[in-house]
Amino acid sequence: MTKRTPFHLALRFFAVACCGLYFSVAQAVELHGRVVAVADGDTLTLLASDNMQHKISLAGIDAPELAQEFGQQAKTSLSALALDQPVTANCSDKGEYLRALCVVSVGGKDLGLAQVSAGMAW
């Protein structure tokens, strides 16, 4: 067992408190809730059934940033697919910005795949 220093414990607390989710390498989390905000073409906020908000990046895709060409269209597309919809998010990692990386689906439809199919992400 690895000895935990106060620094490691503080870092873990920060990750949980600020990011809403903490993942170890072998841990996966399934969240159920409703999408309450869409930041861009591959990032959304999920209000989970426990009333906690989680900022989530769609796993496996990348979409243009809002300031880039088609950025606003990508956000509009994801909003039409997900905003105010009940979703299931299968999260297995955290990404570059310490957001959860999740495969998110609405009624069994993978939102990342839908964004790629619509030409709004790659």
The domain locations on the chain are 6-117
What's the predicted TM-score (pTM) here?
Answer: 0.76
E-strand stretches of 25-118: 29-40, 43-48, 53-58, 86-94, 100-106, 109-110
| pLDDT number for residue 94 | 76
| pLDDT number for residue 115 | 98
| pLDDT number for residue 40 | 97
| pLDDT number for residue 63 | 97
| pLDDT number for residue 28 | 85
- Render pLDDT for 63-85 as a digit per residue (tens, 0 to 9): 999 999 999 999 999 999 999 99
What's the whole-number average pLDDT of the chain? Answer: 83
- Render pLDDT for 49-67 as a digit per residue (tens, 0 to 9): 999 999 999 999 999 999 9
Task: Return the CATH architecture of domain 6-117.
Answer: Beta Barrel (2.40)
Burial zone of 24 (CB within 10 Å; 0-12 exposed, 13-18 middle, 19+ buried): exposed
| pLDDT number for residue 99 | 80
Flag whether pLDDT at 13 surpasses 60.
no
Flag whether pLDDT at 9 surpasses 50.
no
Flag whether pLDDT at 104 surpasses 80.
yes
